[in-house]
Amino acid sequence: MTREIIIGLTVSCSFGAIAWIVATLISVDKRTEVMAIQVNANHEMIRPLWEDFIKRSNIQISNLEK
């Protein structure tokens, strides 16, 4: 009887731990996806500014060399 209770508790705790791990991994995956979308949006906003900066820098350097 005692052995069956111990086995039942062990199995229940094991399943609980596995369920917690799975829930945590799903939560982390969702947060990672949201962050990836935000990074892509930031990249799209910054890219034109960066390209303009590079063009202006090249023009200024060209003018200094003349």
Flag whether pLDDT at 3 surpasses 80: yes
pLDDT in tens, 28-65: 999 999 999 999 999 999 999 999 988 888 776 666 66
More confident residue, 64 or 21: 21
Residue 51 structure tokens: 């390209």
Q: Alpha-carbon distance 27 to 35, whole Å?
A: 12
Q: Alpha-carbon distance 36 to 38, whole Å?
A: 5
Residue type, 52: D
pLDDT for res 55: 86
Q: What is the pTM of this model?
A: 0.56
Per-residue burial over 10-34, b = 16 or more CB atoms within 10 Å of its CB, e = otherwise: eeeeeeeeeeeeeeeeeeeeeeeee
pLDDT for res 65: 60
